[in-house]
Amino acid sequence: MNKAVLVTGGAGYIGSHTTVELLEAGHQVVILDNLCNANREVFNRIEQITGNAPIFIQGDIRNSLTLDLVMQLYPIHTVIHFAGLKAVGESGQQPLNYYENNVHGTIVLCQAMQRAGIKRLIFSSSATVYGEEAPVPYIETLPRGKTSNPYGTSKSMVEQVLTDLYKADPEWSIVLLRYFNPIGAHDSGLIGEDPRGIPNNLMPYIAQVAIGRLQQLSIFGSDYPTQDGTCERDYLHVVDLAIGHLKSMQALDSAGIHIYNLGTGQPVSVLSMVKTFEEVTQQPLPYRITDRRAGDLAAFWADASKAENELGWKAERTLKQMIEDTWRWQSNNPNGYER
Ligand code: NAD
Ligand code: WQD
């Protein structure tokens, strides 16, 4: 077997799209996922798209024996680390669970990598690490800021752990990718975002209202200091984000901590997302305006020029494509991977 990429959390939303891009670029992929937020059906879909199957090991990143075994069995050269918990509200109710999965889990993973002599890591970080008071657009030279929930704090803590790891052992090359708001789906309509229970995030909520699984969207606040009063975010297509991981593998060729924002650089308001979704899909989208959601910031978006200048990566897919692809996935799979 040629050298392989270990993808933790590869059965999830962003991990599955990245796996498709890796396989299509000719990489061998080994996925480690405990399926706590994923469905095995995703592997059939990945195979339908690429004609290739990743190796799948059901297991937990917090289990060092599993990690040692995986790293002994397969010639891993790079780890792309997606595995973790990501629900902001839930993180406030279950902080220990979030720190255990996201922070402790990453430490256990890095310890296993160290034992195996693998020192190339790409980590899924988040724009949330810029904190509550950073000026927009967010740029990588800003310091990490004060986060407002345990999920965000866990991402910031992991960035610190990885920075210290590199300081102690400068043979490591580590990429911290700060994602903005990924939405959309593969254009085959075969894989996409499949949240369990009622979605927390805007796009899957909209898609489930449009398909009739949910009655009405609540828009959280219309009195923000933005153009139309609703919050603005930098939504990027998940396939562009997946490609960003492949492009950032080149940064691993030099040791160091390499930080990149992955976003489009364009803010879009909640209300304009709703209107554009209606126009593109011709589906009515009932909504009402409700109170603000605690912890939401008015507006943030990326300065994504570093990724463009250094990696040659730029988000290319338009908002219309993000919506079309979401809608194709949702209408072909009204119940997600549960047929
Ligand atoms: P996801 O929940 O779809 O994928 C995460 C995957 O990790 C799931 O398949 C889950 O089963 C697996 N997993 C969780 N804990 C695990 C553990 N202890 N051991 C093994 N597997 C485990 O989430 P996603 O949207 O694909 O996000 C991937 C990564 O990107 C996460 O780290 C998330 O925090 C980060 N991120 C996501 C967003 C976003 O908006 N989706 C934004 C910024 C950062
Ligand atoms: C987007 C906008 C809401 C739902 C979160 C995390 C962040 C990152 C991405 C992982 C906001 C509004 C939403 C709804 C609404 N995740 N909204 N009605 O909050 O920007 O980011 O996910 O790292 O860390 O905080 O994304 O999709 O939840 O919300 O009006 O039912 O949509 O107020 O303005 P957010 P989101």
Asked if the model's pLDDT at residue 339 lies above 80, the reply is: no
Cβ(58) to ligand 1 under 6 A? no
Asked if the model's pLDDT at residue 2 lies above 80, the reply is: no
- AA letter at 220: F
Mean pLDDT value across residues 220-238: 98
Mean pLDDT value across residues 188-216: 97
| Residue of 176, 201, 274, 277 to mutate, ligand 2, most atoms within 8 A of C-beta | 201
What DSSP letter does each residue of 223-291 carry, written as one string? -SSSSSSS-EE-EEEHHHHHHHHHHHGGGGGS-EEEEEEES-S--EEHHHHHHHHHHHH-----EEEEP
| Residue of 233, 276, 290 to mutate, ligand 2, most atoms within 8 A of C-beta | 233
Contact yes or no for 118/79 (Cβ under 8 A) = yes
pLDDT digits (tens, 9 = 90+) for 289-308: 999 999 999 999 999 999 99
| Pairing between β-strand 173-179 and β-strand 256-262 as defined by DSSP bridges | parallel
Handedness of CA 230, 265, 182, 88 (dihedral sign): negative
Residue 84 has what pLDDT? 98
Ligand 2 geometric centre to CA of 191 (Å): 21
Asked if the model's pLDDT at residue 325 lies above 80, the reply is: yes
| Residue of 56, 82, 101, 176 to mutate, ligand 1, most atoms within 8 A of C-beta | 82
pLDDT > 90: percent of the chain: 99
Confidence band for 216, pLDDT divided at 50, 70 and 90: very high
Cβ(128) to ligand 1 under 6 A? no
pLDDT digits (tens, 9 = 90+) for 145-196: 999 999 999 999 999 999 999 999 999 999 999 999 999 999 999 999 999 9
Residue 328 has what pLDDT? 98
Contact yes or no for 138/300 (Cβ under 8 A) = yes
CA-nearest residue for atom 34, ligand 2, is 231
Ligand nearest to the CA of 202: 2
Q: Is 337 a residue of the active site?
A: no
Confidence band for 219, pLDDT divided at 50, 70 and 90: very high
Tell me which of 74, 98, 99, 151 is the catalytic residue: 151
Asked if the model's pLDDT at residue 267 lies above 90, the reply is: yes
Ligand 1 geometric centre to CA of 163 (Å): 21
Kindly tell me the number of DSSP H helices and DSSP E strands found in the chain. 12, 13
C-alpha 76, offset from chain centre: 22
Residue 1 has what pLDDT? 67
Mean pLDDT value across residues 321-332: 98
Cβ neighbours of residue 255 under 8 Å, at least 6 residues apart? 119, 166, 170, 171, 172, 173
Q: Ligand 2 site: residues with CB under 6 angstroms?
A: 86, 88, 126, 128, 152, 181, 200-202, 205, 217-220, 231, 233, 270, 293, 296
The Cα 136–Cα 78 span in angstroms is 33
Mean pLDDT value across residues 210-235: 98
Ligand 1 geometric centre to CA of 223 (Å): 32
- The CATH classification number of 4-183+236-263+301-312 equals 3.40.50.720
Mean pLDDT of the chain, nearest integer: 98
The Cα 288–Cα 219 span in angstroms is 6
Cβ neighbours of residue 21 under 8 Å, at least 6 residues apart? 239, 242, 243, 245, 246
Asked if the model's pLDDT at residue 235 lies above 80, the reply is: yes
The closest alpha carbon to 156, from 131, 182, 181, belongs to 131
Residue 126 has what pLDDT? 98
